[in-house]
Amino acid sequence: MAKTPVKPQKSHKSRRRPSAPSIELDINRLNDEGIGIGYFETKEVLITGALPGERVSFTIEHEGQRRIVGQLRRVLRKSNDRGISTCAQAGECQGCSLIAMNYPAQLRFKEDKVRRYLGNYPSLSGAMVHPIWAAEHKLGYRTNAKLVMAKERGKVKIGLYRRGSHEVVDIGNCPLHHPLINRIAAVVKEEVERQGIYIYNPKTQRGLLRYLTVKIAPGSDKAMVTFVTAERNFRELTHLGKWLKKKIPEIISVQQNVNTSEGNVIFGRDTLKVVGVPDLIDKVGDIRLRIAPTSFFQVNNEQATRIYSQVRQWAALQPEETAVDLYCGIGGIALNLARDAGRVIGIEVIEEAVRNARENARMNELGNCTFVAGDAAELVHDLAMDVAPGSIVVVNPPRSGCDEEVLTELAALAPRAMIYVSCNPETLARDLDLLQRLGYHTEEVQPVDMFPQTPHVESVARLTPIPETNSKGCK
């Protein structure tokens, strides 16, 4: 599933034209990232915020041998799909490439992307693609954020890296974030400046504060704040944490994660409680979930609830059946399945997430769950002796999808159905095609708009055995 992009993207070798005049251009289409594409002097031009059918003026930011990255200046001819701007920072941040587009057009773009990738594989031609599920809330839906901290001319910035650069754009009052996230970011910035706490500088590798992460439980309106630091620090972080809790009572937990690496990985290995409780408790549907500071969880609570409900409905588990949930995270899907199944086995590589999943099972009084940490392919292979044919398999991998070895081992379990939850239509289609060759046919796919204003789309696919090849294709 898709996550908040805070890491800087590598840009191609290019040359800047800082004083270049504005150039007019017609926009032909959007790429998969929702960026407008046109052509100038035989080169492809990428302009965030420009829509197909529009004529725009732009200036050149970077120019490579085959591609130009442009900065939108004016829309000279508007598309009928252009909506009303909801973000003053859109031109600088560029993190929400579809925010200029009205919502019905966003949904068409995302559904078409799912259909297009599935259409690349003849084996998937029989799969039914349902109309995309729209989000009830198009703004203010993000309940967790990973934000980079920087300092420029004595002023603290908290935000995201600008696309293709190491420049930090201060998010200010981000319209996609839960309002409590914006409040917390503003108070953190104010307190860090007031208390004179050093911000980490990646060039000099000196300073303390690197990232700010915030998780919100929307049902209770409580928050967990985690400071990612370059070294252990008790005095300043404790002082800062107490001030935050005093100014924003909704904060129930302040944590410190220590990341001593020089790269762009956000979290380090060690997390220390500074103030408050160790975890945040959220609720998705009827399931309560304990979420640790570095555990991944969905950013859109409402749409996650719908996805979990769909997985449970398609699984249609009986009391004597077993379900395997691969890449189970903190157990959101597994615990929903456990209400119907005789047994649920969750597999996850991140040990802290497995710890949370076990605690979540106890908290929800679901004693039929087993959660294990380790390599996916090895653990699935070991299940062959323990899980009878006819079980249910659910996979919810990262954007890169599943390794061929993992899918082969899953098919060898001979489940009566597979359910694949994906945040990347490209790798979803690739993996569904492989599963077809392994004896599992894709019956239907449900696209879900988990991330309004962005180009990302979630999908849930249901697969069943191909009768003619079930006994051979799974070996």
Q: Given the DSSP bridges, would you call strands 43-47 and 67-77 parallel, antiparallel or unpaired?
A: parallel
Q: Given the DSSP bridges, would you call strands 392-395 and 322-326 parallel, antiparallel or unpaired?
A: parallel
Q: Tell me the CA distances in angstroms from 314 to 26, 50, 106, 390, 419, one per residue in order.
A: 45, 39, 27, 14, 8
Spatial CA neighbour of 421 closest among 442, 446, 389 = 446
**Do 188 and 244 form a contact (C-beta atoms < 8 A)?**
yes
Element (H, E) at 46: strand 43-47
Q: At what angle do helices 235-247 and 179-195 cross, to 10 degrees?
A: 130
Strand order in the sheet with 392-395: 128-129, 440-448, 458-465, 417-422, 392-395, 322-326, 343-348, 369-373
Using CA atoms, how far apart are residues 442 and 126, in angstroms rounded to an integer? Answer: 8
Using CA atoms, how far apart are residues 301 and 298, in angstroms rounded to an integer? Answer: 7
**Do 139 and 453 form a contact (C-beta atoms < 8 A)?**
yes
Query: Catalytic pick from 96, 328, 402, 423?
Result: 423
Phi-psi sector, 237: left (phi>0), alpha (psi -120 to 50), beta: alpha
Q: Tell me the CA distances in angstroms from 389 to 8, 82, 382, 385, 465, one per residue in order.
A: 45, 51, 14, 10, 12
- Please give the angle made by the CA atoms of 35, 24 and 106, to the nearest 5 degrees: 25
Catalytic residue list contains 423: yes
Using CA atoms, how far apart are residues 156 and 151, in angstroms rounded to an integer? Answer: 4
Give alpha helix (H) positions in 223-279. Answer: 235-247
Using CA atoms, how far apart are residues 171 and 150, in angstroms rounded to an integer? Answer: 12
**Do 228 and 266 form a contact (C-beta atoms < 8 A)?**
yes
Residues with catalytic roles: 423
